[in-house]
Amino acid sequence: MTTARPVPTDSVLDIAAAVRAGERSAVDVLEQHLARIAERDDEIHAFNTVTDEAARQQAAAVDASVAAGETVGPLAGVPVALKDNLSTRGVTTTCSSRILENWVPPYDATVVERLAAAGAVFVGKTNLDEFAMGSSTENSAFGPTRNPLDTGRVPGGSSGGSAAAVTAGFAAASLGSDTGGSIRQPAALCGLVGMKPTYGGVSRYGLVAFASSLDQIGPFTRTVAESAAVYDVIAGPDPRDSTSIPKQHVPVSATLGDGIDGLRVGVVTELSGRGNDAFEPGVVEAAFAAAEALSDAGAKVEDVSIPTAVAGLSAYYMIAPAEASSNLARYDGVRYGLRKPGPNTAAMMAASRTAGFGDEVKRRIMLGTYALSAGYYDAFYGKAQRIRTLMIREFDRVYENFDVLLSPTSPCVAFEFGAKADPVTMYYNDVCTIPSNLTGQPAISVPFGTGAHGLPVGVQLMAPMLGEPVMYRVAAALEGLAP
């Protein structure tokens, strides 16, 4: 079946308002969503684990607080799905990998604590490309997730389960993680709003690391306002994350409606896809239509060239695997996770890792190990980290003249399973999203029209460090201008 739009359900804001006002019970809201999960998740496979029992208790607790006249949080009773690489105390956290298939963490991620404190109700843990390495969710050890808009196609990745869960109406919002586009690209392919915050804007404590210097956690929602509401809850400094920016969070919800009159929008030549046959025409047209719409709405729109942007993909595939090769060393069968027998420790570790990791994870571990090894460090990892500095400088210079930058989010709409079996072809999906991870700057994908097969297209807005407030203003405007 094909519908270009996510299943319409109540929004995060409506649910929270009604529950806080005591007009609706969090339990009823939850049961609606659990019913949709029961009805359709066998087909979609958005979830690795559905935590219905714990969710019912959470929802009942919210209702009790409301009844008792206690103050409840801004997300009271909102059903939220969590990517299965976010640590949840007492609930298996698998990263869709055999090696963590049965791992039950003894602690909660900071974002999980903050959502719970805000009254959110966790419906389950969502499927992903193993350890978030992929762009289609085909790399999950537990089988792929299907795109609810066309079950013959992928939802994108790596946060495909979190995207599908919201699109299918299994949750009002979800969290994903974005290392090279893993929130924005699936959001685009599933017709959602997906946001990658400023690096250090949201705590990574409890996010199972893929590439520490690039990973960020962010929300999936149907609309920009819902995205802002969830982001305002999870953002802000965390003493448990040394890389978290020690600045008070400036709520973005308050300024969403401030309009874009006079704002300067740059269309990045190197990422626009124009004249690049690796991009689907429908995607490129949508992006330029979006730029034009913003211009008509009062923004100053210009083309801008950022030469290093094209180096993003190469730099990323040196840096991310290098960090991953070290981050994933701890999966050795000693303290937790899968163990396969061996005559000595090293043999046991090798047997466990060999059986526990899938091919894409092995590819990246080996690539990263090679990039860091003596004799190649300077040619690969070292050089990539310097290119990264170059990129940051170039983007910073551009942001002296622009408030936000615009490009397509993904070169293509949702594709069919197996369509991109060759790794490098698959990697190219992230060509537009990777630069923001390398610079640490925020970016958001907003649905704007449709492309091939009537499937949704996402347009990406990028902003300078901590530029979320203006980025969200433009996103809200763009959403209103969408066909």
Partner 1 sequence: MSSHHETPGAPAPRAHLTTDDVAKVAKLALLELSDDELETFTGQLDAVLDLAEQLDEFDIGDIPPTAHPFGLVNVFRDDVAAVGHDAEVMREEALAAAPEVEAHQFKVPPALGEAP
Partner 2 sequence: MNTDTVVDAGKAPDSSSARHLGHEPGLLPEGWEMVVGLEVHAELATESKMFSPAPNVFGGEPNTNVHPVCLGLPGTLPVVNRNAVELAIRIGLALNCTVNRCIWARKNYFYPDMAKDYQISQYDQPLNVDGHLELPSGAVIGIERAHMEEDAGKTVHVGDDGRIASAGYSLVDYNRAGVPLVEIVSRPDIAGPEQAKEYVEELRSILVAIGASDGKMEEGSLRVDANVSVRPVGSDELRTRCEIKNVNSLRSIGRAIVYEAQRHVQLYESGEAPIQETRHWDEEAGRTRPGRSKEEAEDYRYFADPDLVPIDPSPEWIAEIAAALPALPKQRRDALIERGGAHDDAAIVVGRDLDGLALTAIGAGADAQRVLTHIRNNLAVDGAENLDAADFAELVKMETGGALTATQAKQVLAEMVETGSDPASIAAARGFEAMDAGELEGLVDQLIAEHPDEWARFISGDDGDRKKMQGFFTGQIMKATKGQADGKIVNQLLSAKSGG
Q: Which amino acid is at 305?
A: S
Q: Is 182 a catalytic residue?
A: yes
φ and ψ at 447, to 5 degrees?
-65, 135
Instruction: Compare residues 239 and 480 and give the one whose CB is closer to partner 2.
Output: 239
Shortest Å, Cβ 116 to partner 1: 17
* Among 42-50, 159-167, 260-268, 341-349, the segment contacting partner 1 (CB under 8 A): 341-349
Among 1, 23, 42, 106, binds partner 1 (CB under 8 A): 106
Q: Which does 257 bind (CB under 5 to 8 A by kind): partner 2, partner 1, none?
A: none
The DSSP 8-state label assigned to residue 88 in this structure reads B
Q: How many Å apart are CA 179 and CA 116, to the nearest integer?
A: 24
Q: Which does 322 bind (CB under 5 to 8 A by kind): partner 2, partner 1, none?
A: partner 2
Q: Which does 210 bind (CB under 5 to 8 A by kind): partner 2, partner 1, none?
A: none
Shortest Å, Cβ 323 to partner 1: 12
Per-residue buried b or exposed e for 390-411, using 16+ beta carbons within 10 Å of the residue's own CB: ebbebbeebbeebbbbbbbbbb
Instruction: Compare residues 106 and 262 and give the one whose CB is closer to partner 2.
Output: 106
Among 47, 122, 199, 205, binds partner 1 (CB under 8 A): 199
Three-state secondary structure string covering 454-465? HCEEEEEEECCC
Sign of the Cα torsion 199, 200, 202, 207 reads: positive
Catalytic annotation, pick one of 65, 87, 136, 158: 158
Contacts of 395 (CB under 8 A, 6+ apart): 306, 435, 439, 441, 464
What is the footprint of partner 1 within residues 86-105 (CB under 8 A)?
103-104
Does 71 interact with partner 1 (rule: CB under 8 A)? no
Instruction: Compare residues 211 and 338 and give the one whose CB is closer to partner 2.
Output: 211
Q: How many Å apart are CA 135 and CA 171, to the nearest integer?
A: 22
Does 300 interact with partner 1 (rule: CB under 8 A)? no
| Three-state secondary structure call for residue 124 | strand
Catalytic annotation, pick one of 25, 162, 182, 244: 182
Q: How far is residue 237 from each of residues 67, 197, 204, 207, 317, measured CA to CA in Å?
A: 32, 13, 10, 15, 29
Q: Which amino acid is at 198?
A: T
Among 47, 402, 427, 448, binds partner 1 (CB under 8 A): 427
Q: Is 436 a catalytic residue?
A: no
Q: What is the DSSP string of 421-470?
A: -SHHHHHGGGTTTHHHHHHT--EEEEEEEE-GGG-EEEEEEE-STT-HHH
Shortest Å, Cβ 344 to partner 2: 8
Instruction: Compare residues 21 and 346 and give the one whose CB is closer to partner 2.
Output: 346
What is the footprint of partner 1 within residues 244-283 (CB under 8 A)?
245-246
CA 383 to chain centre: 27
* Among 13-21, 38-46, 161-169, 309-317, the segment contacting partner 1 (CB under 8 A): 309-317
Q: Which pair of structure tokens corresponds to residue 457?
A: 């297209």
Catalytic annotation, pick one of 25, 65, 83, 177: 83
Cis peptide leading into residue 182 (ω within 30°):
no
Q: Hunting for tokens 């208790």 — which residue is that?
A: 57
Q: How many Å apart are CA 417 and CA 50, to the nearest integer?
A: 24
Size of the site for partner 1 (CB under 8 A): 75
Instruction: Compare residues 248 and 335 and give the one whose CB is closer to partner 1.
Output: 335
Q: Which does 330 bind (CB under 5 to 8 A by kind): partner 1, partner 2, none?
A: partner 2
Instruction: Compare residues 259 and 382 and give the one whose CB is closer to partner 1.
Output: 382
What is the footprint of partner 1 within residues 358-387 (CB under 8 A)?
362-363, 365-367, 369-370, 373-375, 377-380, 382-387
CA 409 to chain centre: 12
Shortest Å, Cβ 378 to partner 1: 4
What is the footprint of partner 1 within residues 8-67 (CB under 8 A)?
none
CA 137 to chain centre: 12
- Applying CB under 8 A, the residues found at the interface with partner 2 are 85-87, 93, 95, 100, 103, 105-107, 109, 204-209, 211-213, 239-243, 322-323, 325-326, 329-330, 332, 334-336, 344-346, 349, 369, 372-374, 377, 381
- The closest alpha carbon to 156, from 175, 184, 130, 179, belongs to 184
Shortest Å, Cβ 318 to partner 1: 6
Among 333, 435, 458, 467, binds partner 1 (CB under 8 A): 333
Instruction: Compare residues 233 and 311 and give the one whose CB is closer to partner 1.
Output: 311
Q: Hunting for tokens 């974002």 — which residue is that?
A: 111
What is the footprint of partner 1 within residues 432-471 (CB under 8 A)?
439-441, 465
Residues carrying an active site annotation: 83, 158, 182
